[in-house]
Amino acid sequence: MPDAVRPKLVLASASPRRLGLLQQVGIEPDVLKPTDLDETPKKSELPRSLATRLAAEKVAAGIAWTKQDADLAGSLVLAADTVVAVGRRILPKAETIDEAVACLRLLSGRSHRVWTGVALGSDKLSVRSRLVEARVRFKRLSADEIDAYVACGEWRGKAGAYAVQGIAGSFVVKIVGSYTTIVGLPLSETVGLLEAAGYPVRAGWSSPIVASA
């Protein structure tokens, strides 16, 4: 597809991790437009429902924004939301030390689920979405490990108070499902949504490098 007719892509997220994952597969958004939504779960809302709802609401907010800019008319808007849960208990995107410590103590030595909802739409296309689940098991964390991790600050703003692609990767003893879902953007499902919407995903792929013997 010639670049002249390639739809523009707006990533409705401030997450450097989601941007990095897109760049990993050769996709460079044209615009980054974080949304500002109330992410508080509704009463009795299940983790999977929260991830799905917030991803869709972020896309809707992004589409409304593109309608105000003639240069972005028809742009595809991509958004995602990640929820960490133990059973039905939704863990916060930790902003305080107390929240971080509470999350890490809860996750220590047990399994939890990570749900990431991803949605894509435009002012010309209806919103389509996917929900992807991964299961993660942490080793038992000592008080010293929790204190040291909290001191590093990596947890701030992260669902469940950890970033699996960082230092907290050393806490993980088992993953069942998609690693990129845990990071915050399930790549297989995201690429599928983009291709279905006519975005030339493979246009940014370079020729494979052949390793020498």
Q: What pLDDT, on a 0 to 100 scale, did the predictor assign at position 213?
A: 44
Fill in the DSSP letter of residue 67. T
- The domain locations on the chain are 3-204
Residue 139: partners with Cβ closer than 8 Å, 6 or more residues away: 108, 109, 171, 172, 173
Q: What pLDDT, on a 0 to 100 scale, did the predictor assign at position 209?
A: 46
Q: What is the mean pLDDT of each run of 10 residues along the chain (213 residues)?
A: 71 94 95 92 96 97 93 94 96 96 98 98 94 98 98 96 97 97 97 95 70 45
CA-CA distances (angstroms) from residue 161 to 40, 150, 180? 16, 9, 17
Quote the CA–CA distance of 89 and 10 in Å, as a whole number. Answer: 32
Q: What pLDDT, on a 0 to 100 scale, did the predictor assign at position 207?
A: 53
Q: CATH second-level architecture of 3-204?
A: Alpha-Beta Complex (3.90)
Q: What pLDDT, on a 0 to 100 scale, did the predictor assign at position 208?
A: 55
**Residues with catalytic function:** 81
Q: What pLDDT, on a 0 to 100 scale, did the predictor assign at position 205?
A: 82
Residues 145-196 have pLDDT tens digits of 999 999 999 999 999 999 999 999 999 999 999 999 999 999 999 999 999 9
Entry pTM: 0.90
Q: What pLDDT, on a 0 to 100 scale, did the predictor assign at position 212?
A: 46
Q: What pLDDT, on a 0 to 100 scale, did the predictor assign at position 211?
A: 45
Reduced to 3 states, what is the DSSP secondary structure of residue 160? coil
Reduced to 3 states, what is the DSSP secondary structure of residue 177? coil
Q: What pLDDT, on a 0 to 100 scale, did the predictor assign at position 11?
A: 97
Which of 80, 58, 62 has its CA nearest to residue 186? 80
Reduced to 3 states, what is the DSSP secondary structure of residue 79? strand
Neighbouring C-beta atoms of residue 12, cutoff 10 Å: 28
Q: What pLDDT, on a 0 to 100 scale, did the predictor assign at position 199?
A: 94
